[in-house]
Amino acid sequence: SGELYCSLPNPRNVHFESVNMKNVLHWSAPEGTGDGVLYKVKYSVYGVGKWIRKPECRNINRTWCDLSNETSDYEEQYYASVKAFLNGMCSDWTETTRFNPLTDTKIDPPMVSVSSTEKSISIFLTAPEKWKRSPEEESVSLLQVYPGLQYNVSVLNKKTKKRWWFSVSNNTLVVPWLEPGTTYCVSAQIHVPTPLLHSGFSKEYCIATLKDK
């Protein structure tokens, strides 16, 4: 269809929000527009000469569009662009900055599970998985994406209120020689030295060592 009269203000703050390489394009409605604005989205692989329309995000009224599938190759970089329509008018295409999934994604905290014996606690850490198209698809751990991935683990003795820090690369940490009948709270964070990435800290998981027999 012929291009409409494009004097509508542009969508604002067009950017990728990425967590564990689930890459979702977000934007804000054009200034001064109420309801009824529709959008369409296109994306391009940096260095490749064509823009590709995203059919599922054509004439949508929401202000996000999941492009995880289209940007799943993290050896490439991407641009995305949004155009707004309202009452026969349209805006210009408004682009993101260049998006590098490898360095621009945020990482969720690791999953933590703990078990205890009389005098020790065992901490099991699991790095989040990279986003995948469907549950049937083979899982890829972020450990495979970032081989230098490490865990910073904090262990808090609830009785003495003392906190210890561990930095481990493998996913199991056993802390022996603890006090029986004492509660320890564990929290962990992922640290990737380069490209420099940190996750937030996981929820705190508390467990008590068994009482002295």
Where along the sequence are the contacts to other proteins (CB under 8 A)? 44, 46-50, 75-77, 79, 97-98, 100, 102-103, 152, 154-155, 157, 160, 162-167, 175-179, 191, 193-196
Cβ atoms within 10 Å, residue 147: 8
Q: Whole-number minimum distance, CB 44 to other proteins, in Å?
A: 6
Q: Whole-number minimum distance, CB 86 to other proteins, in Å?
A: 27
Of residues 24 and 102, the one with the C-beta less far from other proteins: 102
**Cα gap 7→31, rounded to integer Å:** 12
CA angle 128, 187, 190 (to 5 degrees): 40
Of residues 88 and 176, the one with the C-beta less far from other proteins: 176
**Cα gap 115→155, rounded to integer Å:** 13
88 backbone φψ class: left, alpha, beta (φ>0; ψ -120 to 50): left
8 class by beta-carbon count within 10 Å (0-12 exposed, 13-18 middle, 19+ buried): buried
Q: Whole-number minimum distance, CB 195 to other proteins, in Å?
A: 6
Q: Whole-number minimum distance, CB 37 to other proteins, in Å?
A: 25
Of residues 27 and 146, the one with the C-beta less far from other proteins: 146
State whether residue 147 is helix, strand or coil.
coil
Q: Whole-number minimum distance, CB 109 to other proteins, in Å?
A: 16
Of residues 95 and 108, the one with the C-beta less far from other proteins: 95
**Cα gap 72→153, rounded to integer Å:** 30
Locus of tokens 């209120």: 161
Of residues 62 and 162, the one with the C-beta less far from other proteins: 162
